Chains A and B, each alone.
Chain A
Amino acid sequence: MDKIPILRMGAFLLVTIQVDLYDRLALNLETDLVNMVHKTGARGVLIDISAVSIVDSFMGRILGNIASMTRVLDAETVVVGMQPAVAITLIELGLSLSGVYTALDVERGMALLQTKLGSDDELTDDDADYTE
């Protein structure tokens, strides 16, 4: 059984999908990822789909679900490296993945997560000051 590796990079988790996702694999990824976020207390999840060339509505929904689930666990999800054809397909399917952050490549995705995390930290600091 294929398994998609989840790498930990500091406060973030990095997932690189290098095979075409079939339904079972996607569901397993969802479970693994949510467990991993819970276990490590990660603040951000970066999913690199630059090698994915085929996408269906199920896969689009899974991406959306992962984003919502990680948000509940206080982690932001960034999907990076989407191929033009994949983007067009998702739009034609009516899935605009509005809850998911996107970036062009892993580097920019990391930068985006860092700024999100940075602003979050400031926010919590402010809150802390306020309560004090």
Chain B
Amino acid sequence: MTNSVAQFLKKNKALLLDTWIQKQLASDTLRDDLMTNDELRLQSEELVDLLVKSVNDNNIEQTESASFDELFELLSAISMSRARQGFSPRETGLYIFSLKEAIFELLQQDLSSDPLLLFKTSLKFNRLLDSFGVVTFETFIKGREEVIFRQTEEISDISTPVIQVWDGILALPIIGTLDSARTQVVMESLLQKIVDTGSGIAILDISGVPAVDSLVAQHLIKTVSATRLMGADCIISGIRPEIAQTVVHLGIDLSNIITKASLASALKHAFSMNRLTVKRAESEKKVL
């Protein structure tokens, strides 16, 4: 019979790992498509190693103790990587809780002669592993949030591409609703590109904007004014009939802004502003 928790863990380390792995392999939530069994074994082994190393009789009841920092760090790392790999919260949770089951089973075998001690020790382990579960969950959610945050950032980046369509002509297709934050991004990237390329004309294409209300229109007017301040001309293109209707119904004055129905006509206008002409090659042959 073992009195010390640390001794118990050390003695049963290999057995504990085996029991735990078996439990995981037997579980319905095993995802061998996301992680191979070898990887799972390595990960579990690392965790059990550290658990055996850090838990002793003194700190088992103090889950906040600094001696668990390393263990929590490992747990966080595992949980974070599982969040990124696409494990569900349930699978990640059960991963930790199956460890609890494994420990309890071994405890039962070890302490079957002393029910009182078994109960007390189980309670201690229960508390410790619950706190492991909480940490795992917290970091799992944090990991997921990070993924969402990164995706949001990527979306806002890819949704504002400034394209140089011709020497001195930039085009910016706006896709999705324009809010204040996006207008800021659009404006900054457009103005920066104007400076970088020295372009004199910018075309804002709003065919991908689902609806134009007074706020969106105000954002557009702001962008156009800012471009003008930089010394470039701004053309708004891609105005659908419905948008033309709403703009007039809302009483928004776009008369100071050059507006075109399509990107093609805006480009044509930009060419004429730059005194460029586009000719069909065949007609040249005829002349010659």
Give A contacts to B, CB under 8 Å.
79-84, 86-88, 90-92, 96-97, 102-105, 108-109
Whether B228 pairs with A104 at a CB distance below 8 angstroms is no
Q: A91-B229, A102-B229 are in contact. Are A84 and B198 (CB under 8 A)?
A: no
Whether A90 pairs with B231 at a CB distance below 8 angstroms is no
Quick one: closest A residue to B190, CB to CB? A84
Q: Which residues of B contact A96 (CB under 8 A)?
A: 225, 228-229
A96 to chain B, nearest CB (A): 4
Q: Which residues of B contact A81 (CB under 8 A)?
A: 231
Whether B229 pairs with A108 at a CB distance below 8 angstroms is no
Most interface-central of A79, A84, A86, A105 (chain B CB within 10 A): A84
Sample of 19 A–B contacts (CB below 8 Å): A79-B229, A82-B229, A82-B230, A83-B195, A84-B194, A84-B195, A86-B229, A87-B229, A87-B230, A90-B229, A91-B222, A91-B225, A91-B226, A97-B229, A102-B231, A104-B195, A104-B199, A104-B230, A104-B231
Quick one: closest A residue to B225, CB to CB? A96
Q: Which residues of A contact B198 (CB under 8 A)?
A: 104-105
B200 at the interface (CB under 8 A from A): yes
Whether A102 pairs with B230 at a CB distance below 8 angstroms is yes
B16 at the interface (CB under 8 A from A): no
B57 at the interface (CB under 8 A from A): no
Tell me, in angstroms, the Cα distance from A87 to B191 when the chains sit together. 9
Q: Which residues of B contact A87 (CB under 8 A)?
A: 191, 226-227, 229-230
Whether B225 pairs with A84 at a CB distance below 8 angstroms is no
Q: Which residues of A contact B232 (CB under 8 A)?
A: 104
> Which size class do B's interface residues fall under?
10 to 19
Tell me, in angstroms, the Cα distance from A86 to B188 when the chains sit together. 11
Tell me, in angstroms, the Cα distance from A83 to B188 when the chains sit together. 10
A78 to chain B, nearest CB (A): 8
A106 to chain B, nearest CB (A): 11
B172 at the interface (CB under 8 A from A): no
B274 at the interface (CB under 8 A from A): no
Q: Which residues of B contact A102 (CB under 8 A)?
A: 228-231
Whether B231 pairs with A84 at a CB distance below 8 angstroms is no
B115 to chain A, nearest CB (A): 73
A91 to chain B, nearest CB (A): 5
Q: A104-B194, A105-B198, A108-B200 are in contact. Are A84 and B222 (CB under 8 A)?
A: no
Tell me, in angstroms, the Cα distance from A12 to B184 when the chains sit together. 36
Point out the residue from B187, B194, B199 that lies within 8 Å of A88, measured CB to CB: B187
Whether A108 pairs with B231 at a CB distance below 8 angstroms is yes
A124 to chain B, nearest CB (A): 25
B192 at the interface (CB under 8 A from A): yes
Tell me, in angstroms, the Cα distance from A83 to B199 when the chains sit together. 14
Q: Which residues of B contact A109 (CB under 8 A)?
A: 231
Q: Which residues of A contact B200 (CB under 8 A)?
A: 104, 108
Tell me, in angstroms, the Cα distance from A84 to B232 when the chains sit together. 12
A83 to chain B, nearest CB (A): 8
Tell me, in angstroms, the Cα distance from A84 to B198 when the chains sit together. 12
Most interface-central of A82, A86, A90 (chain B CB within 10 A): A82
Q: Which residues of B contact A105 (CB under 8 A)?
A: 198, 231
Which B residues from 192 to 238 make CB contacts under 8 A with A?
192, 194-195, 198-200, 222, 225-232
